[in-house]
Amino acid sequence: MTGSVPTHSFDAALASAAYRNALQVIGAVEPRVADAIGAELADQRASLKLIASENYASPAVLLTMGNWFSDKYAEGTVGHRFYAGCQNVDTVEGLAAEHARALFGAPYAYVQPHSGIDANVVAFWAVLAQRVELPSLEKAGVRHVNELTDDDWTTLRRALGDQRMLGMSLDAGGHLTHGFRPNISGKMFEQSSYGTDPSTGLLDYDAVRARAREFRPLILMAGYSAYPRRVNFATMREIADEVGATLVVDMAHFAGLVAGKVFSGDFDPVPHAHVVTSTSHKSLRGPRGGFVLAQPEFSDAVDRGCPMVLGGPLPHVMAAKAVAFAEARQPAFAEYAQAVVDNAVTLAEGLAKRGVTVVTGGTENHLVLLDVSSFGLTGRQAESALLDAGIVTNRNAVPSDPNGAWYTSGVRIGTPALTTRGFGADEFDRVAELIADVLGGTTPTTTSAGEPSKAKYTLADGLAGRTAAAAGELLAGYPLYPGLDVSGQ
């Protein structure tokens, strides 16, 4: 075993007692829920989790969410609520914002968003409010926002001056919330995309600049969910300034690498972006939720996220964000963040040397994107076959993907969760071997018409069982929440 990076630090006896007692209380009301909670812990302990957007929060973060703050409405901001009796909510929201500002070196932090999508929508409306004179819906000639048709959204966009957003394309690694039509962002803005160099899969900043000059967006969106490289945010800010755009960076995936100072200088979005959005989970290891960092000129507009976009904030989750941000300010988190990237590099190299196509030829962050078409597989087939063998991943489009966003030609994998468990270089090289074996031992089947299926497949005899057993051996050396016993025995 090679893993030596500090994982979650907690008192196992205290945490065990807390969870056992909690499950007993829950079980007295609805035992099936208590059973499901226990089963989820067992399943996560037994899973070789490689989903890049998942992680394991600490017992302290998890326990913080189960308390009386859940009962409290607190619309408004610290010291300016629309409900009485919010002094304790003010304390935890203030602490979460304080830790976030210190952690990321940001002048302003807003910790109320319930998710990354909420954080993005808060940011988008804040930019519109700051830079565009917004008409009322009535003046724009449309009905209630919940009843808007596509034609209504077109009318509203025109009333707003046909405001434009330029973001990374989905197949290049961008995200649905960066201006794509099925999402609210694509209804608010006229959208266009920039991609990657077809020969390398890397961002071509000259091409981004040329597209920005042609399209003249109000918002230049940066950030990604499946791009395995760093982004030069200093260059992106130069492009934004040149065309008069506001630079918004979605760092949901790599916030932990920013917090751990693995991404610094030109690759740290906070000094360069006007507004930064993020989730508090993923590589940051906090509770599920979102937050916004911004330069001072946008702070008042972002503060109006509730009621402009959000309903009542979730005080119990804001309290958990405060705990998670405090954890991330400790030196051990920087070691963890560096290990996440080191392990991803090892994983990518291990896959490449075993004949797996790695998009862009490697990685500089927490994720690795595989093109499985050389095995004759779709991403859906590969994802399912790996799951059969005890390896949890998710299918993902690759640049210019012929199979689209549902079947895809790729699989996205990431190292944050298993790094939290303590995996190091040897373990991730072994994981690469297991993945390559499964991909090589999977054969697509044909449809009733004799055409290759995009979903069905067969695994070589015994391969799933052998791989699952090998994965179990790896996991046994790095137990999840070691010493935590919720069985009551």
279, 415, 419, 467: which one is catalytic? Answer: 279
187, 237, 282, 321: which one is catalytic? Answer: 282
20, 54, 73, 357: which one is catalytic? Answer: 73
The residue length of the chain stands at 489
Of 13, 11, 233, nearest to 104 by C-alpha is 233
Q: Is 72 a catalytic residue?
A: no
Those residues whose C-beta lies under 8 Å from the C-beta of residue 343, and which sit 6 or more positions away, are 415, 418, 419, 423, 424, 425, 428
CA 93, chain centre distance (Å): 22
Beta-bridge mates of residue 391: 48
CB count in 10 Å sphere of residue 417: 26
Tell me which amino acid residue 83 is. Y
Q: Is 288 a catalytic residue?
A: yes
In 399-466, at which residue ranges do the beta strands (DSSP E only) sit? Answer: 410-414, 442-446, 452-459
Q: Is 177 a catalytic residue?
A: no
Question: Coil, helix or strand for 198?
Answer: coil
Those residues whose C-beta lies under 8 Å from the C-beta of residue 25, and which sit 6 or more positions away, are none
Q: What are the start-end ranges of the H helices in 262-330?
A: 299-303, 305-308, 315-328
Of 189, 227, 188, 181, nearest to 208 by C-alpha is 227
CA distance 337 to 340: 5
93, 152, 190, 250: which one is catalytic? Answer: 250
CA 180, chain centre distance (Å): 17
For 107-148, the DSSP string reads: S-EE---SSHHHHHHHHHHHHHHHHS-PPPTTTTT---GGG-
CA distance 59 to 12: 9
For 175-191, the DSSP string reads: -TTTT-TTSHHHHHSEE
Question: Coil, helix or strand for 67?
Answer: coil
Of 212, 208, 214, 210, nearest to 196 by C-alpha is 208
Of 63, 54, 48, 47, nearest to 10 by C-alpha is 63
20, 54, 75, 456: which one is catalytic? Answer: 75
Specify the pairing of strand 410-414 against strand 367-371.
Answer: antiparallel
20, 261, 288, 329: which one is catalytic? Answer: 288
Q: Is 73 a catalytic residue?
A: yes
Of 302, 324, 257, nearest to 112 by C-alpha is 302
CA distance 304 to 317: 19
Specify the pairing of strand 391-392 against strand 48-49.
Answer: parallel
Which residues are part of the catalytic machinery?
73, 75, 250, 279, 282, 288
